[in-house]
Amino acid sequence: MYLNRKVAVVLPAYNAAKTLEATFREIPFDIVDEVILCDDASTDETVDVAEKLGIHTIVKHDRNKGYGANQKSLYNVALSHKADIIVMLHPDYQYTPKLITAMVSLIGQELFPVVLGSRILGTGALKGGMPIYKYIANRLLTFFQNVLCGQKLSEYHTGYRAYDQAVLRKISFQTNSDDFVFDNEVLSQIIYAGIKIGEISCPARYEEASSSINFARSVKYGLGVVRVSVMHWLQKSKLMKFEMYQMQ
């Protein structure tokens, strides 16, 4: 509990058995009230590890539905459990849970309703082992997205995000993709709604056990990001034209 607000950490898991415990052990339970894990039909012992760690709320998909579908399940459960602040953290131990306190504080103190853990702020990404091609793609896509979305974010592709519950209730995340581009669609919805986004520098580690999509999926993801950004710009342009027409 933070300032009388219930804090839930949600973990979108797929084959995270090797890294889940390390992630879980670093969660600051002095402020976190509940951990919710969704297993997207893993082929390893992810669920067994979660149960042994004492994670009481575990959602199990009977088939692999995708990263976006995983988050949809998590947010629906967190909202039904009356969570006030919801932190989405990948259980692959790429991001340190130690920053949850800072991210929750920014929301709890009503400075930002959305906070992103950025690997790009500072020099953490490449030092942490991010592949150079992914770093370059991240920077190019982020520049493109900032231009079309009218923002100055350091990155749109982090798997470490915190939301005020009101944000998730306002946007229609259920209509988004079930695949990896889900995260970008959520940010597009948040920006379109005029909701402020804060960022905090987050060191990242890339190890063999950490999850990663292959090159082909990365290309598909990149094309999806471009599509989302263009659609955002077109929709924003249409709205601006409509507002100008109304003023005439």
Mean pLDDT by 10 residues, the chain (248 residues): 95 97 97 98 98 98 97 98 98 95 98 96 74 89 96 96 98 96 97 97 78 76 94 81 47
Domains annotated for the chain, with CATH where assigned, are 7-247 (3.90.550.10)
> What is the reported pLDDT for 212?
61
Cα(30)–Cα(69) distance, rounded to whole angstroms?
A: 29
Task: Tell me which H or E stretch contains 68.
Answer: helix 67-80
Cα(243)–Cα(96) distance, rounded to whole angstroms?
A: 44
Q: CA nearest 36: which of 12, 63, 64, 4? A: 12
Cα(213)–Cα(240) distance, rounded to whole angstroms?
A: 37
- Asked if 63 and 40 touch (Cβ cutoff 8 Å), the reply is no
> What is the reported pLDDT for 242?
43
> What is the reported pLDDT for 209?
60
